[in-house]
A = this chain, B = another copy of it.
Amino acid sequence: MIQYPIPWPNGARCACAITFDMDADSLIHISRPKDSHNRLYPISMGQYGPMVAVPRILETYRRFGLKQSFFVPGWCIERYPGAVEAMLEGGHEVGHHGYLHEDPTAHSHDEQVDWFDRALAAHRQVGNTPRGYRAPVYNITQGVTDLLLERGFAYDSSLMGDDIPYLLDTAAGSLVEVPVHWGTDDWPPFAHYDEIGYLMPVKSPSSGLAAFFEEFEAHYEAGGFWHCIWHPFLTGRLARWRQVETWLESILESRDVWFATLGEIADHVRSISEAGEGTVRRDSLPYYTEPPSVTAGRRGNG
């Protein structure tokens, strides 16, 4: 079922990564800059992430001995340094996730460079040098991939081109792509955020989590890569996280899995590719240099 299977370390049957994007209240500020500071409910909903959910998640990881990846906008690092320092102290990875969760497709390249570097500076402020990137709302552009290579990044995690990691070749070099997927993102089942234009029905914890657990079974059977894209203020809520924790415990006890940070996974994929131990899929950028023609004009005499 998987065209370019990757042999995982120590013969593990399936690689696994839970990634948390800790956006906190950046979302309301970027969406409603005029009065977001006076919208206390969305702020508090976002702050639940760094203040309540992240300590809970880190405690679970500590108990299970897991090191996982977080993606945090630069502004959130400045605003909630304690949460980010706790991630780093716990041995987890903290990746680049923009400055204020700004959508790269909504800005010029110069603006984007500025946001990007401002975020990098925030990471460095807490002693972190991110090696991986996830675009806010997944909206990575060609310009950002170039920037990632210029800034020495090892991997991106914003695209949906495959089930398992692959290489992304560009003129300027090569990145590992650790792909995402809407079926393992927790916004569709759990987010309800009218203020930023995202109104989904909220699933019960068990019915919302069912999708993730079914995805695991399929990847485990196929020797693939189970990758969740979660958010502390959503899946880190008490009832949902308790079900995750119970499930995680049973998986760790009964299955042969390799839980790792995306950085470790990217490094593994890179080394497999370089050692020629497997055929890692390669994709090339740019996909396009200009928009496909969408005019229904008659061609020639046609």
Binding site for B on A (CB under 8 A): 1-3, 25, 29-30, 33-41, 43-45, 47-48, 51-52, 55-56, 75, 99-100, 102, 105, 107, 111-112, 114-115, 117-118, 121, 135, 138-143, 145, 158-163, 179, 181-183, 185, 188-190, 192, 194, 198-207, 210-211, 214-215, 217-219, 221-222, 224, 237-243, 283, 285-292, 294, 296-299, 302
The answer on a CB contact under 8 Å between A210 and B218 is: no
The answer on a CB contact under 8 Å between B181 and A237 is: yes
Bound complex: CA A223 to CA B43 (Å): 26
Min CB–CB distance A33 → chain B (angstroms) = 5
15 A-B pairs whose Cβ atoms sit less than 8 Å apart in the complex: A1-B241, A33-B292, A34-B291, A38-B143, A40-B287, A45-B161, A75-B292, A121-B302, A181-B237, A182-B192, A188-B201, A188-B202, A218-B243, A222-B242, A224-B238
| Among A41, A105, A140, residue most surrounded by chain B Cβ atoms (within 10 Å) | A41
Bound complex: CA A34 to CA B291 (Å): 7
Bound complex: CA A1 to CA B47 (Å): 17
Q: A141 contacts which chain B residues (CB < 8 A)? A: 38-40
Bound complex: CA A47 to CA B159 (Å): 10
The answer on a CB contact under 8 Å between A215 and B201 is: no
Name the contact of A219 in the complex, choosing from B189, B239, B240, B294 (C-beta under 8 A): B239
The answer on a CB contact under 8 Å between B237 and A1 is: no
Chain B residue at minimum C-beta to C-beta distance from A217: B239
The answer on a CB contact under 8 Å between A201 and B183 is: no
The answer on a CB contact under 8 Å between B37 and A291 is: yes
| Among A102, A138, A183, A200, residue most surrounded by chain B Cβ atoms (within 10 Å) | A183
The answer on a CB contact under 8 Å between B41 and A160 is: yes
The answer on a CB contact under 8 Å between B201 and A218 is: no
The answer on a CB contact under 8 Å between A296 and B29 is: no
Min CB–CB distance A25 → chain B (angstroms) = 8
Q: A56 contacts which chain B residues (CB < 8 A)? A: 1, 3
Min CB–CB distance A290 → chain B (angstroms) = 6
Bound complex: CA A161 to CA B221 (Å): 39
Q: A237 contacts which chain B residues (CB < 8 A)? A: 163, 181, 183
Q: A121 contacts which chain B residues (CB < 8 A)? A: 302
The 7 A-B residue pairs with the shortest CB-CB distance, nearest first, are A218-B239, A37-B288, A204-B211, A44-B161, A44-B159, A45-B160, A111-B296
Chain B residue at minimum C-beta to C-beta distance from A41: B138
Bound complex: CA A245 to CA B1 (Å): 11
The answer on a CB contact under 8 Å between A114 and B302 is: yes
User: Given A75-B292, A218-B238, does the pair A161, B52 have CB atoms closer than 8 Å?
Assistant: yes
Q: A207 contacts which chain B residues (CB < 8 A)? A: 204, 207, 210
